[in-house]
Amino acid sequence: MDHSTCPVCGNLLKLKFKLRFNVYQCANCGLQHSDAQFEHSFESDLDPDARDGALKTLRITNFIHIIARLKAAKNNHLGEGLEIGSGNGWWLDVCAGQGVKCVGIEPERTYENYHKQHNLNIVYGFYPDVSPKREGGYDFIIFNDVFEHIPDINELVKNLKNDLADDGILIINLPMSTGFFYNWAIRLHKMGLSNTLTRMWQFNFHSPHMNYFNKENLKMLMDHHGFSTAEVFPLQSLDIQSTRDRILADKGMSKWKASMMTSILKIMKPIIERSEPDIKAFFFKKK
């Protein structure tokens, strides 16, 4: 993959950070792009059980909010959706509880037993190789904290356009390069403390981030492929009650350091809540 030019606007990328992998930035659109690679062994420093326990309440709250906005956008006329990167299956669980029909695609089998126990409709493999086709296209296609992990975003969006119904909605929720935590990590990196920024990019996990978007360059990418932006709204990114467990999902993190970081976040919570959101959801439609 070419790491010298921006995958959004085609301008030259310049080295921004030297971490476990290099991070480059586009001077034109501001996209941050890494030369990281997906680890197909699926082995990393991530403890999935600890991570899931810490994230579940937060994720489900966000999913319920997304579904409410989706139903409003479609006037409660939802046919069938497709989730790319279903992971633990919580989105599909919430969909079932909300009366929304959705099929998932997931490359890993870590949660296969859970998927079977909950009767979740999941196809295993990588999109678009195993994409189940639907006549007329899907009413919605969603990425829940997955889009930023995709290496070839332009080829991806081309396939998405083919699989989405003409009046369908493409939903992307993802962490933003303009968010409070990401910019806090950059400040720490400048002081010689790079662990937080490495964690933000998930470079010590098997599925690292390939890109960090802001609102404008994500809209620019989608506009280039014939999508218009229908709606943008923030999602919750912090649940203080589960923060310590979330930090400890990184096997390399000590308990005392996790406790210290959690205490700092509790103190900073009012500032965080008034700052630029770390996670946003985007609704896109075909032009």
pLDDT at 247 over 60: no
Res 157: pLDDT: 97
Query: What pLDDT digit, counting tens, does each position of 73-114 carry?
Result: 999 888 999 999 999 999 999 999 999 999 999 999 989 999
Residue with tokens 């991806």: 156
Model-level pTM? Answer: 0.87
Handedness of CA 207, 208, 212, 217 (dihedral sign): negative
Least trusted range by pLDDT, from 119-128, 197-206, 234-243: 234-243
Q: What's the rounded Cα separation, in Å, for the pair 74 and 88?
A: 26
- Tens digits of per-residue pLDDT, 136-193? 999 999 999 999 999 999 999 999 999 999 999 999 999 999 999 899 999 999 999 9
99-113, 117-131, 241-255: range with lowest mean pLDDT: 241-255
pLDDT in the model for residue 248: 47
Domains and CATH numbers, the chain: 13-286 (3.40.50.150)
pLDDT of 256 above 70 = no
Q: What is the pLDDT of residue 259?
A: 62
Nearest-CA neighbor of 30 among 52, 46, 7? 7
* The predicted structure's pLDDT at residue 160: 97
Alpha-helical runs (H) found in the chain: 48-73, 90-97, 112-117, 153-163, 180-190, 195-200, 215-224, 243-247, 255-274
